[in-house]
Amino acid sequence: MFTTRSLYTKSGFQVNQSIQWQMLTDDQCEEIVMSAMELLERTGADVKSAAARELFKEKGCWVQGERVRIPSVKAEWALKSAPSRITVCDRNGKRAMLLESNNVHFGPGFGNDTTIDVISGETKKTTKADVANVAKICDGLPNIDFLMNNGIPTNVATSVAELHAFAALATHSAKPIVQEVKNACQAQAVIDMAAAVKGSLEGLQQDPFLVLYVKNSEALVTTADAMDVVMLAAKNRIPVVCGNDLVTGLTVPKESAAALVVATANSLAALTLAELVSEGAPFISGSFFSLNDTKNEVVPYGAPEVSMLGAGMANVLRYLRLPSFTFAGGSDSKISDAQMGLEATFSILHAGLAGTSMVYGAGQMESGLMSSPYLIVLADEVMGMTRRIMRGVEMDEDRLCRGVIDDVQPGGHYLSSPHTRYYFKEEQFWPTLMNRNRIDDWITAGSKTLGQRTVEKTKDLLNFYEGAPLADSVLAKFDEIIAYAEKNM
């Protein structure tokens, strides 16, 4: 458009279309995968679900008591059977996340029962209204691609708290939802609620806006509840994340390579089960790794090892052509301070550069014991900066602008050039929280700190929330499903 095109074609011209951080080579990934397969075939895993053990045995695995040994050929078959790409839509059916290649998507965390109140700034127990506020805030953040509850509501029955959380998210935003469930009963109820939104289970299968999430927290041990959810999701063709919540030096070996081997073995066991239930079942894996901080008696969320091992796991899963799900955007800080921003930024940048398919965890504080809506808003800014870095240096004839440079001539300026006007907004990152004003202008505007600006933006997102209402009939169906589940669970 703005430059002269070359009259020749280059041969073998290599381009970094985007910046990627590959912590592990393919050879290292292969070594980890082969070690994991050897563990599953030689040592096996304890499978607590009777239904899962029965299926493993029926399909040719070796079962003795709760121990299941999985021949490598079964795991290799499962890897070929599982889709290498999964499409997740928003509530309205628009394709929102393409889990493929190095595409990266960001979202908040989940699960804790304490939160920082948006209005007062005080710490309190999480309520269903707080989860609704998370949805409203995330709905207005351009770099938040999917929703999680960022805190489990405590003002509802514990047995159905996850169902209330899903209802609050689905009612107040159209973005895709990753919903943690504790068991198959909860999973079925959430699937029914999502199907009510889409009009049928088939409609949900065609344009899924729901991804289920379960986790295992031990090495080579799969809980009955987690495997029952994996089987239910596979049967219904609903995407499921089967994560690993592992602590090096406690639940897995301290050595990082061995921790990745165990996590990969856990993931392959769950994947094999899903594909045995339904060939081609959409399956996502990943891990949250932390370490055993015996000095402070905590499992830190902001440690560099969390980012390092998460990136390593993303590398392994990309090598296996499986979508990945890892943690970033949290902090061990208890208040909105420099530590919070530093730890969140460090982890988001690394997860993004590692090419993680889905990055969850924004908003988690105090080693996962508390959540902060302010941190979600700050993390959104960091995600935008990370995406600009990931985009790297785009290169084509138009962007090389040899003709433009020739037109302007040495010593000229480019401000009035049509080329500058065309690329001005997209070529650079435009912050909404970071302040670039001169000091006099900053003082005139109130000398506000980053923390103050973040609080103001968070409140504005709530005040100017436009809404994403569901039909009254769908809301009534939500209430009916939750009431039935509470009565029978």
pLDDT at 484 exceeding the cut of 60 = yes
DSSP state of 4: P
For 223, half-sphere exposure in the C-beta direction (CA atoms, 13 angstrom radius) is 15
Contact 213, 33 (CB under 8 A): no
Which carries the bigger pLDDT value, residue 409 or residue 66? 66
Average pLDDT over residues 340-364: 95
Asked whether the predicted pLDDT for residue 19 surpasses 70, the reply is no
Vertex 95, ends 92 and 97: CA angle to 5°? 120
pLDDT in tens, 267-286: 999 999 999 999 999 999 98
pLDDT-derived band at 15, boundaries 50, 70, 90: low
Q: Is the pLDDT of residue 79 over 70?
A: yes
Range 39-64 average pLDDT: 97
Range with the poorest average pLDDT among 46-50, 152-156, 289-293, 308-312? 289-293
What pLDDT score does 427 carry?
Answer: 82
pLDDT at 8: 53
What is the pLDDT at residue 478? 98
Q: Report the C-alpha gap between 108 and 177 in whole angstroms.
A: 10
Structure tokens at 380: 């959104």
> Highest mean pLDDT range out of 274-278, 332-336, 387-391?
274-278
Residue 349 neighbours by CB distance under 10 Å: 19
Q: Model confidence at 403, in pLDDT bands (50, 70, 90)?
A: confident
- DSSP per residue over 355-392, as a string? T-SEEEEETEEGGGTEE-HHHHHHHHHHHHHHHHHHH-
- What per-residue confidence (pLDDT) applies to 45? 97
The pLDDT > 90 percentage for the chain reads: 79
Whole-number pLDDT of residue 291: 86
Instruction: Answer whether residue 7 shows pLDDT above 80.
Output: no
- Give the DSSP letter string of 169-193: HHHH--S-EEEE-SSHHHHHHHHHH
pLDDT at position 154 is 96
| Cβ neighbours for 460, distance < 8 A, ≥ 6 positions apart | none
Give 17 or 485, the one with higher predicted confidence: 485
Range with the poorest average pLDDT among 243-252, 276-285, 298-307, 420-429: 420-429
Mean pLDDT of the chain: 92
Give the SS3 label for residue 311: helix
pLDDT band at 418 (very low <50, low <70, confident <90, very high): confident
C-alpha atoms less than 13 angstroms from C-alpha of 14 in its C-beta half-sphere: 0
Q: Which of 483, 489, 488, 454 is closest to 164 using CA atoms?
A: 483
Q: pLDDT tens-digit profile of 112-146? A: 899 999 999 999 999 999 999 999 999 999 999 99
Residue 443 banded pLDDT, cuts 50, 70, 90: very high
Does the pTM surpass 0.75? The reply is yes
Place of tokens 């499903």: 481
> Helix or strand or coil: residue 70?
coil
pLDDT score, position 297: 80
CA distance 14 to 281: 36
φ and ψ at residue 213, rounded to 5 degrees: -135, 130
Give pLDDT, residue 256. Answer: 93
Nearest Cα neighbor of 374 from 465, 453, 447, 467 is: 453
| Dihedral (CA of 221, 45, 354, 352) sign | negative
pLDDT of amino acid 104: 96
| Spatial distance between the Cα atoms of 387 and 429, rounded to a whole number of angstroms | 9
d(CA 221, CA 48): 8
Is the Cβ–Cβ distance between 251 and 218 less than 8 Å?
Answer: yes
Residue among 152, 161, 233 nearest 194 (CA): 233
